Amino acid sequence: MEHSQEIVLPYQIRSYVLESVIGYGGFGTVYKAKSLNYGNEYEFAVKSIKMPDKMNSKHYKHYQSFESEVQSLKRLDHPNIIRLYDYFQEGSYMFLVLEYCEGGTLETNIPTLTYYEKIKACLDIVNGITYIHENMIAHRDIKTLNILFDSNGRAKIADFGLSQKFFQDNDKISKTEGSLLYISPEIIKGVPFSAFKSDIWALGVLIYRVFTGIYPFSGFDKDEIVKNILCGIYNLSLVPPPLVGVVKSSLLPHPEDRMKIETIQQTLTKLCKDSKTFFSARLGKLQRSSIIISSNIKLASGKSGPLSLTNLNKQRQLTKKFLSPSKLALHNFYTSRSKLNLHE
């Protein structure tokens, strides 16, 4: 579908003013917007789709995606799910007014996240998936590009265009949709499959991607990627040991053998708590070491004021002397600012 080029910015639609383009997709365009009802205090993401007078199968697919997203998000209210504020049709355009997440996607943030931040983000995602599965909704397009960070660093699941609501215990579908690098073997085979179990597979791929920087199943072209997914062979040694069990159990070829989302949630909750405790303890030791080092420098220089350049060099030398390589690495990490301020 062509982008919504007819909209000239800034553009007012009802009580919203579209100010700039956030991005484009197969569905249309996403804009950053403000509301006349709330002034400049709040920002929104407005997704627009232009529907032609005569719809072909491609247009109808985009319309279905719009409807799926609306119907799913109307039912959901969770801190790790993108919030839907409003939706309406104006002329030939359909609009979704969504929560604006200024922190960007998980995909773009991977290189800058610390180990603890990655664990926390994955736990946020798992909490969100657990919630939507409890509401009998399968996302069906879990991937790093569909995870956004809000201003507090909280990870939120977005883009429910492929999501589907199920009733009772029947969760079997046969649709071959999704992102190739994240789709499960049963989707490729074209047999009826559990959409919830396929979400678990995609989650396993996401966790692997976050902690290794690569995909477990990749290739030079589509055929090679498909072959590798069906073979199920990947390098598990690249995954941090505490996460090996989660990744391995999520990427099992038989859907019924995969780890339950509740078990993944319990595992990551404990791992997140342990990681936070470990880094807090290490930081405390490093801070105490810094105080001792600083005191020694003051005694050596006979000054109590700000450190001169000479004394600063002495401090650096003492830091390297008193701290082991591993402690020095942690010291350097904690004295630099992280780009994301994740919530507690």
Give catalytic status of residue 141 as yes or no: yes
Whether 297 and 311 have beta carbons less than 8 Å apart is answered as yes
Q: What is the DSSP string of 245-305?
A: HHHHHHS-SSGGGSPPHHHHHHHHHHHHHHHHHHHHHHHHHHHHHHHHHHHHHHHHHT--S
Please name every residue paired with 84 in a beta bridge, in sequence order, or none if there are none: 98
In this structure, the number of other CB atoms found within 10 A of the CB of residue 191 comes to 10
Q: Residue 163 corresponds to which tokens in the numbers above?
A: 């999501």
Beta-strand ranges (E) seen in the chain are 11-13, 16-25, 28-35, 39-50, 84-90, 93-99, 137-138, 147-149, 155-157, 164-165, 172-173, 193-194
Please tell me which residue in 53, 77, 124, 141 is annotated as part of the active site. Answer: 141
Element (H, E) at 131: helix 115-134
Beta-strand ranges (E) seen in 122-238 are 137-138, 147-149, 155-157, 164-165, 172-173, 193-194
User: Does the annotation flag 47 for ligand binding?
Assistant: yes
Whether 186 and 255 have beta carbons less than 8 Å apart is answered as yes
Which parts are annotated binding residues for ATP?
Answer: 47
Which parts are annotated binding residues?
Answer: 47
Which residues participate in catalysis according to the annotation?
A: 141
